[in-house]
Chains A and B, each alone.
Chain A
Amino acid sequence: MAKYLLLKHYRGAPAPVNNVPMDRWTPEEISAHMQYMHDFAARLEKTGEFVDGQALAPEGTFVRYDGEGRPPVTDGPFAETKDLIAGWMVIDVDSYERAVELAGELSAAPGAGGRPIHEWLELRPFLAAPPTVTE
Protein backbone atom coordinates (compact mmCIF):
# COMPACT_ATOMS: atom_id res chain seq x y z
CA MET A 1 0.00 0.00 0.00
CA ALA A 2 1.14 3.55 -0.65
CA LYS A 3 -0.21 6.79 0.70
CA TYR A 4 -1.10 9.71 -1.52
CA LEU A 5 -2.17 13.24 -0.74
CA LEU A 6 -4.94 14.71 -2.89
CA LEU A 7 -4.74 18.49 -2.72
CA LYS A 8 -7.55 20.82 -3.66
CA HIS A 9 -6.60 24.42 -4.37
CA TYR A 10 -8.49 27.67 -3.90
CA ARG A 11 -5.89 29.20 -6.19
CA GLY A 12 -2.82 28.00 -8.01
CA ALA A 13 -4.22 25.06 -9.95
CA PRO A 14 -5.13 25.44 -13.64
CA ALA A 15 -8.72 26.62 -14.07
CA PRO A 16 -11.32 23.86 -14.03
CA VAL A 17 -13.56 23.27 -17.05
CA ASN A 18 -16.82 24.08 -15.27
CA ASN A 19 -15.53 27.16 -13.46
CA VAL A 20 -18.48 28.77 -11.67
CA PRO A 21 -18.12 29.84 -7.99
CA MET A 22 -20.32 27.82 -5.69
CA ASP A 23 -22.47 30.72 -4.54
CA ARG A 24 -23.64 31.00 -8.17
CA TRP A 25 -24.94 27.43 -8.24
CA THR A 26 -28.48 26.52 -7.28
CA PRO A 27 -28.98 25.13 -3.76
CA GLU A 28 -29.88 21.76 -5.33
CA GLU A 29 -26.59 21.72 -7.24
CA ILE A 30 -24.72 22.41 -3.99
CA SER A 31 -26.55 19.54 -2.29
CA ALA A 32 -25.70 17.20 -5.16
CA HIS A 33 -22.04 18.20 -4.92
CA MET A 34 -21.91 17.67 -1.13
CA GLN A 35 -23.60 14.30 -1.50
CA TYR A 36 -21.06 13.23 -4.13
CA MET A 37 -18.12 14.20 -1.91
CA HIS A 38 -19.67 12.49 1.08
CA ASP A 39 -20.40 9.30 -0.86
CA PHE A 40 -16.88 9.27 -2.27
CA ALA A 41 -15.28 9.40 1.19
CA ALA A 42 -17.74 6.84 2.57
CA ARG A 43 -16.96 4.44 -0.25
CA LEU A 44 -13.20 4.76 0.34
CA GLU A 45 -13.74 4.06 4.02
CA LYS A 46 -15.55 0.87 3.02
CA THR A 47 -12.76 -0.24 0.69
CA GLY A 48 -10.17 0.51 3.37
CA GLU A 49 -8.47 3.23 1.32
CA PHE A 50 -9.51 6.36 3.23
CA VAL A 51 -7.05 7.86 5.71
CA ASP A 52 -8.04 11.46 6.36
CA GLY A 53 -9.74 14.46 4.83
CA GLN A 54 -9.74 18.07 5.99
CA ALA A 55 -10.86 21.45 4.71
CA LEU A 56 -8.84 24.61 5.34
CA ALA A 57 -10.00 28.18 5.85
CA PRO A 58 -8.96 30.53 3.03
CA GLU A 59 -7.27 32.90 5.48
CA GLY A 60 -3.80 32.17 6.83
CA THR A 61 -0.48 33.71 7.80
CA PHE A 62 3.20 33.19 6.97
CA VAL A 63 5.41 32.84 10.03
CA ARG A 64 9.19 32.66 10.39
CA TYR A 65 11.83 32.53 13.11
CA ASP A 66 13.43 35.91 13.78
CA GLY A 67 16.35 34.99 16.04
CA GLU A 68 16.95 33.99 19.65
CA GLY A 69 14.63 35.60 22.17
CA ARG A 70 12.59 37.43 19.57
CA PRO A 71 8.99 36.75 18.70
CA PRO A 72 8.46 35.12 15.29
CA VAL A 73 7.80 37.42 12.35
CA THR A 74 4.39 37.11 10.76
CA ASP A 75 3.31 38.17 7.33
CA GLY A 76 -0.24 38.13 6.17
CA PRO A 77 -3.01 37.22 6.01
CA PHE A 78 -1.78 35.90 2.64
CA ALA A 79 -2.17 38.53 0.00
CA GLU A 80 -2.01 37.27 -3.57
CA THR A 81 0.02 34.14 -2.95
CA LYS A 82 0.31 32.07 -6.04
CA ASP A 83 -0.99 28.92 -4.42
CA LEU A 84 -3.70 28.48 -1.82
CA ILE A 85 -4.68 25.05 -0.52
CA ALA A 86 -8.38 24.52 0.14
CA GLY A 87 -8.20 21.07 1.65
CA TRP A 88 -6.86 17.59 1.32
CA MET A 89 -7.67 13.94 1.35
CA VAL A 90 -5.14 11.25 2.20
CA ILE A 91 -5.68 7.85 0.63
CA ASP A 92 -3.83 4.57 1.08
CA VAL A 93 -3.99 2.55 -2.12
CA ASP A 94 -2.34 -0.37 -3.90
CA SER A 95 -0.89 1.51 -6.83
CA TYR A 96 -0.27 4.83 -8.50
CA GLU A 97 -2.89 3.86 -11.10
CA ARG A 98 -5.51 3.44 -8.38
CA ALA A 99 -4.59 6.84 -6.92
CA VAL A 100 -5.02 8.49 -10.32
CA GLU A 101 -8.32 6.71 -10.86
CA LEU A 102 -9.66 7.96 -7.51
CA ALA A 103 -8.42 11.53 -8.04
CA GLY A 104 -10.14 11.50 -11.42
CA GLU A 105 -13.40 10.43 -9.82
CA LEU A 106 -13.16 13.14 -7.18
CA SER A 107 -12.52 15.73 -9.87
CA ALA A 108 -15.75 14.67 -11.57
CA ALA A 109 -17.87 15.96 -8.65
CA PRO A 110 -20.91 17.75 -10.08
CA GLY A 111 -20.96 21.57 -10.12
CA ALA A 112 -23.00 24.27 -11.85
CA GLY A 113 -25.70 22.83 -14.10
CA GLY A 114 -25.09 19.43 -12.51
CA ARG A 115 -22.12 18.93 -14.84
CA PRO A 116 -18.74 17.70 -13.56
CA ILE A 117 -16.42 20.48 -12.37
CA HIS A 118 -13.35 18.84 -13.98
CA GLU A 119 -11.36 20.43 -11.19
CA TRP A 120 -7.58 19.94 -11.11
CA LEU A 121 -6.44 18.02 -8.06
CA GLU A 122 -2.81 17.70 -7.11
CA LEU A 123 -1.71 14.11 -6.45
CA ARG A 124 1.39 13.76 -4.28
CA PRO A 125 2.93 10.47 -3.11
CA PHE A 126 4.08 10.31 0.52
CA LEU A 127 7.75 9.51 1.05
CA ALA A 128 7.45 6.14 2.75
CA ALA A 129 9.46 4.76 5.66
CA PRO A 130 12.43 2.61 4.57
CA PRO A 131 11.50 -1.06 4.17
CA THR A 132 12.84 -3.61 6.63
CA VAL A 133 14.25 -5.82 3.86
CA THR A 134 16.58 -3.85 1.65
CA GLU A 135 18.30 -6.52 -0.48
Chain B
Amino acid sequence: MDEALLRSLTPSVLGVLVRRGADFAAAEDAVQDALVEAVRVWAADPPRDPKGWLVTAAWRKFLDATRADTARRRREDLVDEEPAPGPAPAADDTLRLYFLCAHPSLTPASAVALTLRAVGGLTTRQIARAYLVPEATMAQRISRAKRTVSGVRLDRPGDVATVLRTLYLVFNEGYSGDVDLAAEAIRLTRQLAAAIDHPEVAGLLALMLLHHARRAARTAPDGSLVPLAEQDRRRWDTRSVAEGIGILQTALARDRLGEFQAQAAIAALHADAPTTEETDWVQIVEWYDELVRLTDSPVVRLNRAVAVGEADGPRAGLAALAALDGSLPRHTAVAAYLHERDGDLPTAARLYAEAAHRAPTLAERDHLTRQAARLNTHLRP
Protein backbone atom coordinates (compact mmCIF):
# COMPACT_ATOMS: atom_id res chain seq x y z
CA MET B 1 0.00 0.00 0.00
CA ASP B 2 1.56 3.23 -1.17
CA GLU B 3 0.63 5.85 1.40
CA ALA B 4 2.47 8.60 -0.50
CA LEU B 5 0.43 7.90 -3.64
CA LEU B 6 -2.76 7.75 -1.63
CA ARG B 7 -2.12 11.09 0.02
CA SER B 8 -1.01 12.75 -3.22
CA LEU B 9 -4.42 11.91 -4.70
CA THR B 10 -6.31 13.54 -1.83
CA PRO B 11 -6.73 17.06 -3.22
CA SER B 12 -7.81 16.02 -6.70
CA VAL B 13 -10.36 13.52 -5.34
CA LEU B 14 -11.74 16.15 -3.01
CA GLY B 15 -11.82 18.58 -5.94
CA VAL B 16 -13.96 16.18 -7.97
CA LEU B 17 -16.49 15.86 -5.14
CA VAL B 18 -16.71 19.61 -4.67
CA ARG B 19 -17.13 20.14 -8.41
CA ARG B 20 -19.98 17.63 -8.40
CA GLY B 21 -21.74 19.87 -5.94
CA ALA B 22 -20.81 18.39 -2.56
CA ASP B 23 -20.21 21.01 0.09
CA PHE B 24 -16.59 21.25 1.13
CA ALA B 25 -16.93 20.13 4.76
CA ALA B 26 -18.94 16.99 3.97
CA ALA B 27 -16.79 16.16 0.95
CA GLU B 28 -13.65 16.46 3.05
CA ASP B 29 -15.02 14.04 5.65
CA ALA B 30 -16.01 11.62 2.88
CA VAL B 31 -12.53 11.71 1.34
CA GLN B 32 -10.97 10.99 4.75
CA ASP B 33 -13.29 8.00 5.17
CA ALA B 34 -12.36 6.79 1.69
CA LEU B 35 -8.66 7.08 2.53
CA VAL B 36 -9.17 4.95 5.62
CA GLU B 37 -10.98 2.36 3.57
CA ALA B 38 -8.25 2.42 0.93
CA VAL B 39 -5.63 1.68 3.57
CA ARG B 40 -7.72 -1.27 4.68
CA VAL B 41 -8.60 -2.70 1.26
CA TRP B 42 -5.76 -1.87 -1.14
CA ALA B 43 -3.12 -4.06 0.48
CA ALA B 44 -5.01 -7.22 -0.50
CA ASP B 45 -6.76 -5.85 -3.57
CA PRO B 46 -4.93 -2.92 -5.21
CA PRO B 47 -7.11 -1.04 -7.73
CA ARG B 48 -6.01 -0.49 -11.33
CA ASP B 49 -7.18 3.12 -11.21
CA PRO B 50 -6.47 4.39 -7.67
CA LYS B 51 -7.94 7.83 -8.23
CA GLY B 52 -11.11 6.45 -9.82
CA TRP B 53 -11.45 4.03 -6.92
CA LEU B 54 -11.08 6.85 -4.39
CA VAL B 55 -13.56 9.09 -6.18
CA THR B 56 -16.14 6.31 -6.25
CA ALA B 57 -15.56 5.36 -2.61
CA ALA B 58 -15.59 8.97 -1.41
CA TRP B 59 -18.70 9.78 -3.40
CA ARG B 60 -20.47 6.75 -1.92
CA LYS B 61 -19.42 7.81 1.59
CA PHE B 62 -20.64 11.30 0.88
CA LEU B 63 -24.01 10.05 -0.30
CA ASP B 64 -24.33 7.76 2.71
CA ALA B 65 -23.65 10.65 5.03
CA THR B 66 -26.04 12.90 3.17
CA ARG B 67 -28.66 10.18 3.24
CA ALA B 68 -28.22 9.88 6.96
CA ASP B 69 -28.82 13.59 7.05
CA THR B 70 -32.25 15.04 6.77
CA ALA B 71 -31.49 16.64 3.42
CA ARG B 72 -33.02 13.86 1.36
CA ARG B 73 -34.11 16.08 -1.46
CA ARG B 74 -30.67 17.57 -1.85
CA ARG B 75 -29.22 14.07 -1.99
CA GLU B 76 -31.53 13.13 -4.82
CA ASP B 77 -30.50 16.22 -6.74
CA LEU B 78 -26.90 15.23 -6.28
CA VAL B 79 -27.44 11.69 -7.50
CA ASP B 80 -28.79 13.18 -10.70
CA GLU B 81 -25.64 15.22 -11.06
CA GLU B 82 -23.28 12.33 -10.42
CA PRO B 83 -22.24 11.49 -14.00
CA ALA B 84 -20.90 14.98 -14.67
CA PRO B 85 -17.35 15.25 -13.34
CA GLY B 86 -17.02 18.78 -14.71
CA PRO B 87 -14.51 20.13 -17.18
CA ALA B 88 -11.84 21.60 -14.87
CA PRO B 89 -8.53 19.70 -14.87
CA ALA B 90 -7.12 18.19 -11.68
CA ALA B 91 -4.38 20.80 -11.28
CA ASP B 92 -7.01 23.53 -10.91
CA ASP B 93 -8.88 21.47 -8.30
CA THR B 94 -5.70 21.09 -6.33
CA LEU B 95 -4.85 24.76 -6.56
CA ARG B 96 -8.33 25.83 -5.44
CA LEU B 97 -8.01 23.63 -2.38
CA TYR B 98 -4.70 25.20 -1.42
CA PHE B 99 -6.30 28.63 -1.63
CA LEU B 100 -9.35 27.54 0.33
CA CYS B 101 -7.38 25.85 3.12
CA ALA B 102 -5.12 28.88 3.54
CA HIS B 103 -7.97 31.37 3.19
CA PRO B 104 -7.23 34.74 4.84
CA SER B 105 -10.33 34.32 7.07
CA LEU B 106 -8.56 31.45 8.89
CA THR B 107 -6.03 31.87 11.67
CA PRO B 108 -2.58 30.53 10.77
CA ALA B 109 -3.00 27.52 13.12
CA SER B 110 -6.35 26.64 11.51
CA ALA B 111 -5.00 27.08 8.00
CA VAL B 112 -2.11 24.77 8.82
CA ALA B 113 -4.39 22.07 10.26
CA LEU B 114 -6.89 22.25 7.41
CA THR B 115 -4.16 22.19 4.76
CA LEU B 116 -2.54 19.13 6.30
CA ARG B 117 -5.83 17.29 6.36
CA ALA B 118 -7.67 18.36 3.20
CA VAL B 119 -4.64 18.81 0.92
CA GLY B 120 -2.14 16.56 2.66
CA GLY B 121 -4.50 13.70 3.44
CA LEU B 122 -3.19 13.31 6.98
CA THR B 123 -5.58 12.07 9.64
CA THR B 124 -6.68 14.30 12.49
CA ARG B 125 -4.80 12.01 14.86
CA GLN B 126 -1.54 12.40 12.94
CA ILE B 127 -1.90 16.18 12.85
CA ALA B 128 -2.75 16.28 16.57
CA ARG B 129 0.33 14.23 17.42
CA ALA B 130 2.55 16.37 15.26
CA TYR B 131 1.40 19.51 17.08
CA LEU B 132 1.29 17.85 20.51
CA VAL B 133 -2.36 18.63 21.22
CA PRO B 134 -5.18 16.21 22.09
CA GLU B 135 -6.94 14.68 19.10
CA ALA B 136 -10.30 16.14 20.19
CA THR B 137 -8.78 19.63 20.21
CA MET B 138 -7.40 19.21 16.71
CA ALA B 139 -10.71 17.77 15.49
CA GLN B 140 -12.48 20.88 16.76
CA ARG B 141 -9.91 23.18 15.19
CA ILE B 142 -10.39 21.48 11.83
CA SER B 143 -14.18 21.41 11.91
CA ARG B 144 -14.31 25.07 12.94
CA ALA B 145 -11.93 25.90 10.09
CA LYS B 146 -14.18 24.02 7.67
CA ARG B 147 -17.19 25.98 8.89
CA THR B 148 -15.29 29.24 8.48
CA VAL B 149 -14.52 28.58 4.82
CA SER B 150 -17.82 26.88 4.00
CA GLY B 151 -19.20 30.03 2.38
CA VAL B 152 -16.09 30.74 0.32
CA ARG B 153 -16.61 30.29 -3.41
CA LEU B 154 -14.04 28.07 -5.02
CA ASP B 155 -14.12 29.66 -8.44
CA ARG B 156 -12.04 32.73 -7.65
CA PRO B 157 -8.29 32.95 -7.62
CA GLY B 158 -6.85 33.01 -4.13
CA ASP B 159 -3.84 34.64 -2.59
CA VAL B 160 -0.61 32.73 -3.20
CA ALA B 161 1.12 34.61 -0.35
CA THR B 162 -1.18 33.14 2.33
CA VAL B 163 -0.66 29.63 0.93
CA LEU B 164 3.11 30.09 1.03
CA ARG B 165 2.99 31.41 4.60
CA THR B 166 0.97 28.37 5.63
CA LEU B 167 3.39 25.92 4.02
CA TYR B 168 6.34 27.79 5.52
CA LEU B 169 4.78 27.38 8.98
CA VAL B 170 4.36 23.65 8.44
CA PHE B 171 7.98 23.35 7.33
CA ASN B 172 9.29 25.25 10.33
CA GLU B 173 7.48 22.99 12.76
CA GLY B 174 10.02 20.33 11.85
CA TYR B 175 9.69 16.89 13.27
CA SER B 176 7.61 15.52 16.10
CA GLY B 177 5.27 12.59 16.39
CA ASP B 178 5.14 10.07 13.56
CA VAL B 179 4.79 12.66 10.80
CA ASP B 180 7.77 14.46 9.36
CA LEU B 181 6.22 17.90 8.87
CA ALA B 182 9.25 19.31 7.06
CA ALA B 183 9.11 16.52 4.48
CA GLU B 184 5.33 16.93 4.26
CA ALA B 185 5.71 20.68 3.66
CA ILE B 186 8.18 19.96 0.86
CA ARG B 187 5.77 17.46 -0.70
CA LEU B 188 2.89 19.94 -0.54
CA THR B 189 5.00 22.80 -1.92
CA ARG B 190 6.24 20.59 -4.75
CA GLN B 191 2.64 19.69 -5.57
CA LEU B 192 1.71 23.38 -5.49
CA ALA B 193 4.63 24.24 -7.79
CA ALA B 194 3.27 21.68 -10.26
CA ALA B 195 -0.15 23.34 -10.18
CA ILE B 196 0.90 26.98 -10.49
CA ASP B 197 3.75 28.76 -12.24
CA HIS B 198 4.93 31.35 -9.74
CA PRO B 199 8.53 32.33 -8.91
CA GLU B 200 7.84 32.68 -5.17
CA VAL B 201 6.38 29.16 -5.00
CA ALA B 202 9.61 27.98 -6.60
CA GLY B 203 11.56 30.19 -4.19
CA LEU B 204 9.89 28.61 -1.18
CA LEU B 205 10.44 25.11 -2.52
CA ALA B 206 14.14 25.90 -3.10
CA LEU B 207 14.42 27.39 0.39
CA MET B 208 12.90 24.27 1.96
CA LEU B 209 15.11 21.89 -0.01
CA LEU B 210 18.26 23.83 0.88
CA HIS B 211 17.43 23.89 4.58
CA HIS B 212 16.24 20.30 4.61
CA ALA B 213 19.56 19.25 3.04
CA ARG B 214 21.33 20.35 6.23
CA ARG B 215 18.99 18.61 8.62
CA ALA B 216 21.15 15.59 9.45
CA ALA B 217 24.08 17.87 10.30
CA ARG B 218 22.03 20.28 12.40
CA THR B 219 21.70 18.12 15.52
CA ALA B 220 24.30 16.14 17.40
CA PRO B 221 23.59 12.53 18.41
CA ASP B 222 22.58 13.78 21.89
CA GLY B 223 19.96 16.06 20.33
CA SER B 224 21.83 19.34 20.88
CA LEU B 225 21.97 22.01 18.17
CA VAL B 226 25.00 22.23 15.91
CA PRO B 227 25.44 25.77 14.53
CA LEU B 228 26.10 26.25 10.82
CA ALA B 229 29.79 27.02 11.30
CA GLU B 230 30.40 23.73 13.11
CA GLN B 231 28.29 21.45 10.94
CA ASP B 232 29.96 18.56 9.18
CA ARG B 233 29.25 19.67 5.63
CA ARG B 234 29.88 16.18 4.26
CA ARG B 235 26.58 15.25 5.91
CA TRP B 236 24.61 17.76 3.86
CA ASP B 237 22.36 16.10 1.32
CA THR B 238 24.01 17.13 -1.96
CA ARG B 239 21.09 15.92 -4.08
CA SER B 240 18.68 18.12 -2.20
CA VAL B 241 21.12 21.06 -2.45
CA ALA B 242 21.50 20.59 -6.20
CA GLU B 243 17.76 20.40 -6.71
CA GLY B 244 17.18 23.50 -4.59
CA ILE B 245 19.81 25.51 -6.46
CA GLY B 246 18.44 24.42 -9.83
CA ILE B 247 14.90 25.46 -8.91
CA LEU B 248 16.14 28.75 -7.48
CA GLN B 249 18.17 29.65 -10.58
CA THR B 250 15.18 29.07 -12.84
CA ALA B 251 13.04 31.24 -10.56
CA LEU B 252 15.59 34.06 -10.30
CA ALA B 253 15.96 34.13 -14.09
CA ARG B 254 12.36 35.34 -14.31
CA ASP B 255 13.40 38.54 -12.58
CA ARG B 256 10.44 38.73 -10.21
CA LEU B 257 12.26 38.69 -6.92
CA GLY B 258 10.39 37.99 -3.69
CA GLU B 259 11.29 37.26 -0.10
CA PHE B 260 11.40 33.46 -0.44
CA GLN B 261 13.71 33.62 -3.45
CA ALA B 262 16.01 35.99 -1.56
CA GLN B 263 16.04 33.73 1.49
CA ALA B 264 16.73 30.74 -0.74
CA ALA B 265 19.61 32.64 -2.38
CA ILE B 266 21.20 33.10 1.06
CA ALA B 267 20.71 29.41 1.87
CA ALA B 268 22.23 28.53 -1.53
CA LEU B 269 25.36 30.59 -0.81
CA HIS B 270 25.81 28.70 2.47
CA ALA B 271 25.22 25.39 0.72
CA ASP B 272 27.83 26.27 -1.90
CA ALA B 273 30.61 27.03 0.59
CA PRO B 274 33.01 24.27 1.63
CA THR B 275 33.60 26.04 5.01
CA THR B 276 32.30 29.08 6.92
CA GLU B 277 35.48 30.98 6.07
CA GLU B 278 35.07 30.34 2.36
CA THR B 279 31.46 31.53 2.40
CA ASP B 280 30.71 34.50 0.17
CA TRP B 281 29.58 36.73 3.04
CA VAL B 282 29.71 39.89 0.93
CA GLN B 283 27.11 38.48 -1.40
CA ILE B 284 25.06 37.25 1.55
CA VAL B 285 24.99 40.80 2.96
CA GLU B 286 23.78 42.02 -0.43
CA TRP B 287 20.94 39.49 -0.36
CA TYR B 288 20.04 40.62 3.15
CA ASP B 289 19.91 44.18 1.82
CA GLU B 290 17.40 42.95 -0.77
CA LEU B 291 15.42 41.20 1.96
CA VAL B 292 15.36 44.36 4.09
CA ARG B 293 14.05 46.23 1.04
CA LEU B 294 11.38 43.55 0.43
CA THR B 295 10.22 42.96 4.00
CA ASP B 296 11.60 45.72 6.23
CA SER B 297 11.62 43.07 8.97
CA PRO B 298 13.65 43.62 12.15
CA VAL B 299 14.46 39.89 12.22
CA VAL B 300 16.02 40.22 8.78
CA ARG B 301 18.08 43.20 10.00
CA LEU B 302 19.28 41.11 12.92
CA ASN B 303 20.42 38.30 10.59
CA ARG B 304 22.03 40.91 8.39
CA ALA B 305 24.10 42.10 11.36
CA VAL B 306 25.50 38.56 11.73
CA ALA B 307 26.41 38.48 8.02
CA VAL B 308 28.01 41.95 8.28
CA GLY B 309 30.05 40.61 11.20
CA GLU B 310 31.42 37.88 8.94
CA ALA B 311 31.91 40.07 5.87
CA ASP B 312 33.44 43.17 7.50
CA GLY B 313 34.52 41.91 10.91
CA PRO B 314 32.80 41.67 14.32
CA ARG B 315 33.10 45.42 15.05
CA ALA B 316 31.08 46.21 11.92
CA GLY B 317 28.57 43.57 12.98
CA LEU B 318 28.26 45.09 16.43
CA ALA B 319 27.77 48.53 14.86
CA ALA B 320 24.93 47.15 12.71
CA LEU B 321 23.48 45.48 15.79
CA ALA B 322 23.61 48.71 17.82
CA ALA B 323 21.04 50.26 15.47
CA LEU B 324 18.47 47.55 16.34
CA ASP B 325 15.99 47.19 19.19
CA GLY B 326 17.66 45.24 22.01
CA SER B 327 14.42 43.47 22.90
CA LEU B 328 14.31 41.63 19.56
CA PRO B 329 14.31 37.86 20.02
CA ARG B 330 17.89 36.51 19.71
CA HIS B 331 19.42 40.01 19.82
CA THR B 332 21.43 39.10 22.94
CA ALA B 333 22.58 35.81 21.40
CA VAL B 334 23.87 37.64 18.32
CA ALA B 335 25.63 40.22 20.54
CA ALA B 336 27.28 37.40 22.51
CA TYR B 337 28.52 35.76 19.30
CA LEU B 338 29.92 39.01 17.87
CA HIS B 339 31.67 39.89 21.15
CA GLU B 340 33.25 36.46 21.20
CA ARG B 341 34.49 36.92 17.63
CA ASP B 342 35.86 40.28 18.72
CA GLY B 343 37.84 38.58 21.51
CA ASP B 344 35.89 39.99 24.46
CA LEU B 345 35.25 36.65 26.14
CA PRO B 346 33.97 37.84 29.55
CA THR B 347 31.29 40.01 27.88
CA ALA B 348 30.43 37.19 25.49
CA ALA B 349 30.08 34.68 28.37
CA ARG B 350 27.80 37.03 30.30
CA LEU B 351 25.65 37.71 27.21
CA TYR B 352 25.39 34.01 26.32
CA ALA B 353 24.07 33.28 29.82
CA GLU B 354 21.61 36.18 29.50
CA ALA B 355 20.54 34.98 26.03
CA ALA B 356 19.98 31.46 27.41
CA HIS B 357 17.66 32.96 30.02
CA ARG B 358 15.56 34.52 27.24
CA ALA B 359 15.79 31.69 24.70
CA PRO B 360 12.48 30.87 23.00
CA THR B 361 13.17 27.14 22.63
CA LEU B 362 14.65 24.48 24.85
CA ALA B 363 17.24 23.50 22.23
CA GLU B 364 18.45 27.10 21.94
CA ARG B 365 18.55 27.51 25.69
CA ASP B 366 20.71 24.42 26.04
CA HIS B 367 22.93 25.55 23.19
CA LEU B 368 23.44 29.05 24.62
CA THR B 369 24.06 27.69 28.12
CA ARG B 370 26.76 25.45 26.63
CA GLN B 371 28.32 28.45 24.89
CA ALA B 372 28.44 30.34 28.19
CA ALA B 373 29.85 27.26 29.93
CA ARG B 374 32.51 26.80 27.25
CA LEU B 375 33.76 30.38 27.65
CA ASN B 376 33.54 30.30 31.44
CA THR B 377 35.55 27.07 31.53
CA HIS B 378 38.14 28.76 29.32
CA LEU B 379 38.21 31.91 31.47
CA ARG B 380 38.49 30.10 34.79
CA PRO B 381 41.84 30.85 36.46
Residues of A within 8 A of B (CB): 21-27, 29-31, 34-35, 38, 55, 57-59
Contact = CB atoms under 8 A, between A and B. Distances in A.
Contacts of B224: 31, 34
B356 A31 contact: no
Given A34-B366, A55-B362, A59-B358, A26 B222 contact: no
Nearest to A21: B353
Interface residues of B, number: 21
A-B CB proximity, top 4 nearest: A23-B372, A23-B353, A26-B377, A27-B370
Grouping DSSP codes into helix (H, G, I), strand (E, B) and loop, the B interface class, with mixed when no group exceeds half, is: helix
A31 B222 contact: yes
19 contacts: A22-B369, A23-B349, A23-B352, A23-B372, A23-B376, A24-B376, A26-B377, A27-B373, A27-B374, A29-B373, A30-B370, A31-B222, A34-B223, A34-B224, A35-B222, A55-B362, A55-B365, A57-B359, A59-B358
A21 B357 CA distance: 12
A25 B371 CA distance: 11
Contacts of A38: 222-223
A35 B366 CA distance: 12
A59 B356 CA distance: 12
B369 A30 contact: yes
Most buried by A among B356, B370, B372, B373: B373
A55 B222 CA distance: 18
Contact of B373 (A23, A58, A59): A23
SS class, residues of chain A in contact with chain B: helix
Interface string B334-351: 000000000000000100
Contacts of A58: 357
Contacts of B357: 58
Contact of A30 (B353, B360, B373): B373
A13 B373 CA distance: 24
A74 B112 CA distance: 31
A33 to B, nearest CB: 10
Contacts of A57: 358-360
Nearest to B372: A23
Contact of A26 (B353, B359, B360, B373): B373
Nearest to B365: A55
A130 to B, nearest CB: 22
Contact of B366 (A21, A26, A30, A59): A30
A21 B356 CA distance: 12
B327 to A, nearest CB: 12
B362 A24 contact: no
Contacts of A24: 373, 376
Contacts of B376: 23-24
Nearest to B368: A23
